[in-house]
Amino acid sequence: MNQFAKITAIEYVLPVQTLSNEDLARDFPEWNVDKIFSKTGINKRQVVSVDECASDLAFNACEKLLNAIELERSAIDFIILCTQSPDYFLPATACILQDRLGLSTQCGAFDYNQGCSGFIYGLGLAKGLVETGQAKNVLLVTAEAYSKYIHPADKSVRTLFGDAAAATLIQAVAEGPCIDRFRYGTDGSGAKNLIVPIGGSRNPAALNVNPELYTDDSGNARTDANLYMNGAEIFEFSMTRIPQLFASLFDESFTVENVDLFAFHQANKFMLDSLRRRIKLPAEKFIAEFEHCGNTVSSSIPIALKESMLKGVLTEGKTVVGVGFGVGYSWAGCVIKW
C-alpha cells in the first residue's frame, strides 16, 4: 500500500537572551530604533548564551514537540538535523541528539548543512524516506546559532540574524500527496557572498589564531573568523532566482490561485516586500513572521508556519507554497497540503 509524507506537528524555541533594537541602537548610535526597524522589520532577536549551542535549542524544540503529541519516542525512526553551527565537525550532531532525546538505537540520524533553503530540502529528504517505505515518522530539526559567528561590531548582520530551532514531525499517511512539486537550485559561484572564511579544512582555525580585524566601507568590523554577507549580491541573487523558481512550481493544473498562503524564507522586511512585489503576490496571503525573532535561517519557514497556525491563519485543508533561499547559493520550493 502506498504511503505519503505529511507534516503533522511543528514546534519551535528561541533562546532566553534577547537582543532588542534598543540594545543595537546603544551599540550603533548612528542607527536609532526606528531606522533599524524600518530597514529590517525586526523588533528583536534572540541569541544563545556563551555556553549554549544550536544543539541545545534543537533538543528543547524536540522535547516541546514530543511532549505535545501522542507518539512514543520509540516510534521515531529517523531524525534529520539541518545546521551550519554543529557542536563538532564530527560526529554528527544528530547522533548526539538521538541519544540525548532517548530515541531508539534503530533510529537513523544525520546532519546536513544547508542554511536558508534547509527546511524545504529537509522536507524533500523526509518525503523520500517516507514514500520509499524507509520510515514512518521522521523528525526534521532545524537549528542555528549564527550569533556565535557574528562580530559584535558588524551591524550589517547583527541586526538581522536571530538564533532558533524548530522541530517538525513528518508522518506516513494513507492519502496524498501532501508535500509535493519540489524544485531545487544551486549556484556555488555565490558561496563567497555569505560565508565564514576561517574554521574549516580550507582555512583551519588552528592556523589563524589571531585573525586580522578589518572594517568595510560601511563601517562594519569583523575578522575572517566571523560571518560575512555581501547584502547587495544576496539581494540581486534573490530577485533573479526566486521569481524563476516560483514560476516553475505552477502549470495549467496548478496555478497561483490554488494557493492559500505563501511561506517564503523570512529574511527581512525589505527582501520579502521586494520579492512579493516582483512576483505580484497579495499581501494577505504572504506570511511575515519575523518581527519577534529576526532571520532564523533554516528555522524561519517552520516558525512562520507555526505562528500562522497559532493565529488561525493556517488551518487544515489549506495549500501552502514554501520557498527557501540564501547561503550557497541555494534555493528550493515545494507545495504543502495542510
Q: CA geometry: angle at 302 spanning 319 and 299, to 5°?
A: 150
Residue 60's Cβ-side half-sphere holds a number of Cα atoms within 13 Å equal to: 16
In whole angstroms, give the CA distance from residue 330 to residue 57: 24
Contact 29, 151 (CB under 8 A): no
The one catalytic residue in 60, 137, 193, 295 is: 295
The one catalytic residue in 265, 268, 293, 334 is: 265
Per DSSP bridges, beta strands 179-186 and 194-195 are: unpaired
Contact 185, 117 (CB under 8 A): no
Sign of the C-alpha dihedral, residues 94, 95, 101, 105?
positive
Rg of the chain over Cα atoms, rounded to whole angstroms, equals 19
The one catalytic residue in 62, 107, 116, 178 is: 116
- For residue 305, the surrounding DSSP H or E stretch is helix 300-310
Contact 87, 96 (CB under 8 A): yes
Contact 172, 3 (CB under 8 A): yes
Residue 151 appears among annotated catalytic residues: no
Residue 292 appears among annotated catalytic residues: no
- For residue 321, the surrounding DSSP H or E stretch is strand 319-326
Contact 229, 236 (CB under 8 A): no
Residue type at 44 in one-letter notation: K
Closest CA to 76 of 139, 7, 156, 33: 139
Residue 116 appears among annotated catalytic residues: yes
The catalytic residue positions are 116, 265, 295
